[in-house]
Amino acid sequence: MKSKILEQSIEKGIRSLTEYEAKQVLREYDIPCPNEFMIENGDMIEKLSDFEAKDAGINYPLYMKISSRDILHKTDAKVIAKASSDSEIVDKGRTILENAEKYNKDAEIEGILLSEDVSGEEKRELIVGSVLDEQFGHVISLGIGGVSVEVYEDVEFRAVPLERRDVFSMVENLKGRKMLQEFRGNPPVDMDSLVETVLKVSEILEENEEIEEIDINPLFVGPEGTVAADALITLTH
């Protein structure tokens, strides 16, 4: 099953999907994502002032993120803010819009994405991604997230297509694999859900050859499943 979102993006000549669009692709393949609501461009501050989380089916705390194809690295651009109530989102929305203007005054802003905070003490951060290699084709990466990925480069790679044993092998070879077991009083993660999520990423790549890169960072994994908190997809054309 090819992704309808990706087909539409290709027809429009889009190369980099927004986070919101990338997560729609993940949802097409039943990869869990946070509850979200998009404040679309056009009088966004006024729309934020009228916003009520309970009516939108979203819970606090939540993250507010500028949605733009021209600003893919949102942390560097300081266009992410955390809000804990309806009363906070107008001022924080104004701040991230100003930061977007400072970072790239020519950036086309599509809106502000409101995304539930899905972190938690029992959840561990992982990174799942892919690159398109000239020799091996699509190659999936799985690594421990947070500080570990930058300090220890704790990442494993396998070429698509993957089978369950491939994913288990990737996990077993991670230096930080003990974090996925019972750790600091927290129960072990739902390994079956982690394996299924990585296999679904493999499926996405198998069925959509136009993908150049996928980056799910972080993928939260807990005792009861996984959630893709942020995602990036770029296409080859």
Residue-wise pLDDT for 205-215, tens only, equals 999 999 999 99
What does pTM read for this prediction? Answer: 0.94
For 79-117, write each residue's pLDDT tens digit.
999 999 999 999 999 999 999 999 999 999 999 999 999
Q: Which domains does the chain have, with CATH numbers?
A: 35-116 (3.30.1490.20), 124-235 (3.30.470.20)
Q: Residue 148: pLDDT above 60?
A: no
Q: What is the 3-state secondary structure (H, E, C) of 62-103?
A: EEEEEECCCCCCHHHHCCEEEECCHHHHHHHHHHHHHHHHHH
| Residue 149 in this model has a pLDDT that exceeds 80 | no
Residues 226, 220 contacting (CB under 8 angstroms): yes
